[in-house]
Structure 1
Amino acid sequence: MLLQFQLLHLDLSKVYQSLSRTKQLHSLIIKTHLSPDPFYATRIVRFYAVNGDLHSARKVFDESPSRSVYLWNSIIRAHAQAHKFDHAFSLFNRMVRSETKPDNFTYACLIRACSDNFDLEGLRLMHCGVTVSGLGLDSICSSALVTAYSKLGLVDEASRVFHGTPQLDLVMWNSLISGYGNFGFWDKGLELFSMMRCMKVVPDGYTFVGLLSGLKDSSLLSVGQGIHGLCLKSNLDSNDHVCSVLVSMYSRCRCMDSAHKVFSGLFEPDLVTWSSLITGYSHSGDYEKALFFFRCLNMEGKKADPILIASVLAAASQIANVAPGSEIHAYVLRRGLESDVMISSALIAMYSKCGFMGIGTRVFKIMPEKNIVSYNSLILGLGLHGLAAEAFRMFNEILRNGLVPDESTFSALLCACCHSGLVKDGREIFRKMRKEFGIEARAEHYVHLVKLLGMEGRLEEAYNLILSLPEPVDSGIWGALLSCCDACGDSELAEIIAQKLFESNSEKSAYTVMLSNIYAGDGRWDDSKKLRDYITERQLRKTTGVSWIKGFSRSA
């Protein structure tokens, strides 16, 4: 009997037991009349919860005559971890009314549940409960509160809890640094990191991950490189999680050589790291490399998710080569992902931009579910191919199906009007967007409207429209009018617009080339040469245009 009892305790001391073994242990506890003891009930509840059998866990709890705080915490945690948040809080309310009062672990569990459920009201209630219970200075509750507030973006509240805690552990430091990073306050994260080092707290991998996650702009590359150096000094260069975030940071900063160097040092990069590298190459304009590494990903036997597949389809469309796009389409069909709306929408865009509008339309027609994104992709494709009437028909279908058009819908419709020279229709669409659908016009909408007016020769009207816009005016809008001046040969207005662009510090060489062409067309060769020399001196480079579309087996 003693040996059996010792074996039972040995089994109960383990972190995990299979469901079948849990049932055997439960039966043994019942047979030996140990079930009234909350210690045994607690262990069985935890084993059932780990195996996802909440029904059996709840049955053990409900049949327990004596409930310790550990048993209450176990059943509440079981429901919270299964995202049965209402049941978890219902049990908490029962616990408050019972003889057993919540402890710091009870509150910490429910605080985590609030952050997982993005329940700010519940989180504030739990914070009040912590304070009323005299646990305001407890490190476990404080750590949970800092983490929860940081996750929900309430970094000021997280900071107040943090600075009011007498004993700060590494988890709290990391949580607040991550909160600052995730919500764009990278500078505050660095300040906190400096304070952490002054207090002789040793950072770990999660600290650096929090710092790096806030660096989302190429202007912060030097900051990221400095943090990378600290990672090396801290011997964290072999930490997969840190390296993965370094790849993401360098990719966001368009420093792809460094991103690839870190990536190459990983023994087995995960899908997130692969995605960061591939999308980084795509956003940097190196579409061939993006497609190359996508093929490498497939050869490694990893399965891309819909977001990555949509990204590489966008890369394929940018190089105007349908071959890699059709290969990805075949990959999608093999994986059975053709019904995914994001992927299908990306396929429509890819085929239309590569000149195969018919295939794009067929992809749209066989989609089992269509949302506004898929309609927008088709409307834009039809517009680019000069099929404005079909684009308008799709817009009417959107309204019949009860879908709500968005900014991208009207941008696509205005683009269709531009490509077909439909000034009157374009004006009406612009009016409807603002008056009937309550959508504020963005720079992209004004670009299309200015082009519509300008290409019909209404340069002065387009110019006055831009002057009526609030400052600063997006350079793309001025650029649209400059291109119209180029087409209409109006060098006088072109000079005025060029001056506006230079005042806005726009260094796009395309605008300078346009003005140079206008001067040349007007016989002002000296002025044209000066601008060309300026481009050479400043090492500006105009993006090469693609005047062909590579098909499956021929060039069109």
Structure 2
Amino acid sequence: MPSLFRVIISEFAKTFQTMVSTEKLQAFVAKTHLARDPFFATKLVRFYALNGDLHSARKLFDEIPQKSVFLWNSIIRAYSQARQMGDAVSLFYEMLGSDTMPDNFTYACLVRGFSESFDSKGLRRVHGGVIVSGLGFDHICGSAVVTAYSKLCLVGEATKVFHSIPDPDVVLWNAMISGYGSCGFWDKGISLFSLMLHLGKRPDFYTMAGLTAGLSNCGLLIIGQSVHGFCLKVNLDYEVHVGSALVSMYSRCKCIDSAYRMFLTVPEPDLVAWSSLITGFSRCMNHKEALFWFSKLNMSCKKKPDCILVACVLGSCAELSNPMQGKEVHGHVLRQGLELDIMVCTSLIDFYSKCGSLDSAINVFAGMAEKNVVSFNAIILGLGLHGFASIAFEKFKDMLEMGIRPDEGTFSALLCTCCHSGLLDKGREFLRIMRNEFGLEPRPEHHVYMVKLLGMEGKLEEAFGFVSSLQEPIDSGIWGALLACCESHGDAHLAEVVAEKLFESDPEKSAYKVMLSNVYARHGRWDEVKMLRDGISESKEGKVPGISWQKIHLIVAEQAFPPEFPHSQPMMAFYHGISGSQNV
């Protein structure tokens, strides 16, 4: 009879996802005299944890006299997932003193909890316990430990654990490959994948998703296309995890057309695929498409955008100066209860500021329960863009009084504020404070603002001396800012000197030639204007000779993997082995 109840309750419990229904289930179990059965207690503890009611979960756990290892694991997992590691460890020690010994799942729960809490010391202690308990070679513990170390960017420790386990299964291979990818060691991930194939291990869709995780820039697009080709050959491209990973990879590499085509092939794209496509459009400055697909996502009742995606979409609204759609997104934020998220609120401040609704930006900032340096940067910049320099400087003082340390973005916002209000002396003061009081090294954008401030005051010679005093190599954007100042003041002599500096670093940049020609035109030097304009036209008329795609792929592969590259041989073997005649 109890076994029949177990089957009925197990099927019945699948529908219990809310707090009220969980309490009803407990009442039903209590009436059937099964409340002290560890099986049902385990089910109820999991549902209470799912609804965030750890108090009820713990109370039920304490009432059970005979606790199974599954029940212990459920309560330890509940506290670990809530990042209450003190209670989780306390229960673990209590378990050690009981008749029930921890198993591999117990240690795996603790390992995941410490990694989620970013507690490397706690993770190492639990790892020591795993070894002492004789589970050092266990695949479940090994996968959890490798994943945890990788999440904390302790790739060396993760690698040691992986290689210490004999005959790792596919899950363990996947954990290590994903670890390399998430930490940016894409070449090591590819090498490990090649070794996996060499040993006759069959990869699955998690393998391929992990393999693409480290491919994050345009220079690695050829590798991503090769991985895509392999997925086509082994018929893994249809799986939603692989499809989402490939959409994300193409988006990160700013190959948005391929990301879009890949998205259309995914049967039921998950939130990762949707987010990757939308953020990809935004990253490629195609903001209208980003907003269009965000609207389509909102019409889907199954998937709701998260805070990161909402912040990205608000950025697109800001770039398009689209107040109507931005306000619709704000409405979505309120309906979904995301108004307490710092990232979302900061994006709302930036959006309203750039769309001219400074009052709304100030209201959002004032309503934030918690503020960080990024939110302060956003409101300072918003106030500065609207010419409220004194209020922006007051916000900076408030920030310091709250004990929030400014970063490079703070001083960028302050210097931008100075530029919009023509406050040269104040800009000099902020640059000094940045260096001397906070030990922050100015970036090119800070120097650009100083050049603009000096140029606005007509101090072109001082601006030239300032730029010349900077450490080489000097960013071309700084020289470009100075050339723009020369153009606005019509200083042909200094413009020629600055343009020569720019042509040395980027001789094909037509914008600099246009600015210099404008200076010449102001002084009636039409021969020089014609010469510069003709040079611009000639540079645009060049024709690239024809070349086959196969030749292009071979050239790119040879450049990407020169002989001196540490992983050249396995990488080239991987490329030639999977590219074949596939067109990705």
- TM-score, normalised on structure 1? 0.83
1:45–1:75 Cα contact (<8 Å) kept: no
- Look up the SS of the partner of 2:165 in the other structure: coil
- Mapping 1:377-416, distance limit 5 Å: 377-399=378-400, 403-416=404-417
1:199 aligns with 2:199: yes
Label 1:83 to 1:410 Cα distance change in 2 as closer, same or farther (>3 A): closer
Q: Which runs of 5+ in 2 are unaligned?
A: 17-21, 49-55, 542-584
Residue equivalent to 2:183: 183
**In structure 2, C-alpha distance between the alignment counterparts of 1:249 and 1:280, rounded to whole Å:** 10
Per-residue CA deviation, residues 354-394 of structure 1 (Å, 9 max, x unaligned), is 34545545555666665544443333233223333343344
**In structure 1, C-alpha distance between the alignment counterparts of 2:451 and 2:323, rounded to whole Å:** 32
**In structure 1, C-alpha distance between the alignment counterparts of 2:442 and 2:106, rounded to whole Å:** 50
Per-residue CA deviation, residues 303-336 of structure 1 (Å, 9 max, x unaligned), is 4334333322322332344444344445556666
1:475–1:506 Cα contact (<8 Å) kept: no
**In structure 1, C-alpha distance between the alignment counterparts of 2:345 and 2:138, rounded to whole Å:** 51
Q: CA deviation at 1:299?
A: 3.4
1:54–1:79 Cα contact (<8 Å) kept: no
Q: CA deviation at 1:413?
A: 1.7
- Look up the SS of the partner of 1:51 in the other structure: helix
1:348–1:378 Cα contact (<8 Å) kept: yes
Q: CA deviation at 1:286?
A: 1.5
**In structure 1, C-alpha distance between the alignment counterparts of 2:201 and 2:534, rounded to whole Å:** 56
Please identify, of 444-453 and 45-54, the stretch whose mean Cα deviation from structure 2 is larger: 45-54
Match of 2:62 among 55, 59, 78: 59
- Look up the SS of the partner of 1:215 in the other structure: coil
Label 1:291 to 1:510 Cα distance change in 2 as closer, same or farther (>3 A): farther
1:159 aligns with 2:155: no
Label 1:204 to 1:420 Cα distance change in 2 as closer, same or farther (>3 A): same
**In structure 1, C-alpha distance between the alignment counterparts of 2:323 and 2:25, rounded to whole Å:** 56
1:443–1:476 Cα contact (<8 Å) kept: yes
Label 1:292 to 1:137 Cα distance change in 2 as closer, same or farther (>3 A): closer
Per-residue CA deviation, residues 182-213 of structure 1 (Å, 9 max, x unaligned), is 11111111111111111121111111111111
1:287–1:318 Cα contact (<8 Å) kept: yes
**In structure 2, C-alpha distance between the alignment counterparts of 1:221 and 1:194, rounded to whole Å:** 18
Label 1:140 to 1:353 Cα distance change in 2 as closer, same or farther (>3 A): closer
2:218–2:254 Cα contact (<8 Å) kept: yes
For 2:219, give the aligned amino acid.
S
Per-residue CA deviation, residues 231-290 of structure 1 (Å, 9 max, x unaligned), is 222222221122122222111211111111122223433333222222211221112222
Label 1:103 to 1:318 Cα distance change in 2 as closer, same or farther (>3 A): closer
Label 1:288 to 1:537 Cα distance change in 2 as closer, same or farther (>3 A): farther
Label 1:489 to 1:371 Cα distance change in 2 as closer, same or farther (>3 A): same
Residue equivalent to 1:447: 448
**In structure 1, C-alpha distance between the alignment counterparts of 2:70 and 2:341, rounded to whole Å:** 45
Residue equivalent to 1:547: none
Match of 1:48 among 28, 44, 47: 44
Residue equivalent to 2:477: 476
Please identify, of 168-177 and 118-127, the stretch whose mean Cα deviation from structure 2 is larger: 118-127
**In structure 1, C-alpha distance between the alignment counterparts of 2:104 and 2:513, rounded to whole Å:** 66
For 1:273, give the aligned amino acid.
A
Label 1:208 to 1:490 Cα distance change in 2 as closer, same or farther (>3 A): same
Q: CA deviation at 1:224?
A: 1.3
1:7 aligns with 2:7: no
- Mapping 1:405-554, distance limit 5 Å: 405-505=406-506, 508-539=509-540
Residue equivalent to 1:172: 172
- Look up the SS of the partner of 2:118 in the other structure: coil
Q: Which runs of 5+ in 1 are unaligned?
A: 541-556
Residue equivalent to 1:130: 130
**In structure 2, C-alpha distance between the alignment counterparts of 1:170 and 1:275, rounded to whole Å:** 28
Label 1:300 to 1:526 Cα distance change in 2 as closer, same or farther (>3 A): farther
Q: CA deviation at 1:176?
A: 0.8
Q: CA deviation at 1:75?
A: 5.1
Q: CA deviation at 1:177?
A: 0.9
- Look up the SS of the partner of 1:220 in the other structure: helix
**In structure 1, C-alpha distance between the alignment counterparts of 2:71 and 2:369, rounded to whole Å:** 48
**In structure 2, C-alpha distance between the alignment counterparts of 1:437 and 1:297, rounded to whole Å:** 43
Per-residue CA deviation, residues 106-164 of structure 1 (Å, 9 max, x unaligned), is 43333233323322112212222233334333333323322222222211111111122
Label 1:25 to 1:376 Cα distance change in 2 as closer, same or farther (>3 A): closer
Q: CA deviation at 1:171?
A: 0.8
For 1:47, give the aligned amino acid.
K
**In structure 2, C-alpha distance between the alignment counterparts of 1:79 and 1:344, rounded to whole Å:** 29
Label 1:337 to 1:105 Cα distance change in 2 as closer, same or farther (>3 A): closer
Label 1:307 to 1:503 Cα distance change in 2 as closer, same or farther (>3 A): same
**In structure 2, C-alpha distance between the alignment counterparts of 1:254 and 1:336, rounded to whole Å:** 32
Aligned residues: percent identity? 53
1:46–1:78 Cα contact (<8 Å) kept: no
**In structure 1, C-alpha distance between the alignment counterparts of 2:339 and 2:99, rounded to whole Å:** 57
1:455–1:487 Cα contact (<8 Å) kept: no
For 2:61, give the aligned amino acid.
R
Label 1:425 to 1:526 Cα distance change in 2 as closer, same or farther (>3 A): same
**In structure 1, C-alpha distance between the alignment counterparts of 2:318 and 2:324, rounded to whole Å:** 10
**In structure 2, C-alpha distance between the alignment counterparts of 1:70 and 1:357, rounded to whole Å:** 55
- Look up the SS of the partner of 1:440 in the other structure: coil
Please identify, of 221-230 and 90-99, the stretch whose mean Cα deviation from structure 2 is larger: 90-99
Please identify, of 126-135 and 168-177, the stretch whose mean Cα deviation from structure 2 is larger: 126-135
1:69–1:102 Cα contact (<8 Å) kept: yes
Label 1:58 to 1:343 Cα distance change in 2 as closer, same or farther (>3 A): closer
Residue equivalent to 1:246: 246
Please identify, of 129-138 and 427-436, the stretch whose mean Cα deviation from structure 2 is larger: 129-138
**In structure 2, C-alpha distance between the alignment counterparts of 1:57 and 1:392, rounded to whole Å:** 55
**In structure 2, C-alpha distance between the alignment counterparts of 1:337 and 1:135, rounded to whole Å:** 42
**In structure 2, C-alpha distance between the alignment counterparts of 1:181 and 1:223, rounded to whole Å:** 13
For 1:472, give the aligned amino acid.
P
Q: CA deviation at 1:297?
A: 2.6
**In structure 2, C-alpha distance between the alignment counterparts of 1:196 and 1:47, rounded to whole Å:** 38
2:380–2:413 Cα contact (<8 Å) kept: yes
Q: CA deviation at 1:59?
A: 1.9
For 1:240, give the aligned amino acid.
V
**In structure 2, C-alpha distance between the alignment counterparts of 1:6 and 1:271, rounded to whole Å:** 39
Label 1:157 to 1:370 Cα distance change in 2 as closer, same or farther (>3 A): closer
Residue equivalent to 2:312: 311
For 2:44, give the aligned amino acid.
Y
Label 1:26 to 1:361 Cα distance change in 2 as closer, same or farther (>3 A): closer
**In structure 2, C-alpha distance between the alignment counterparts of 1:387 and 1:281, rounded to whole Å:** 33
1:16–1:50 Cα contact (<8 Å) kept: no
- Look up the SS of the partner of 2:184 in the other structure: coil
Label 1:352 to 1:133 Cα distance change in 2 as closer, same or farther (>3 A): closer
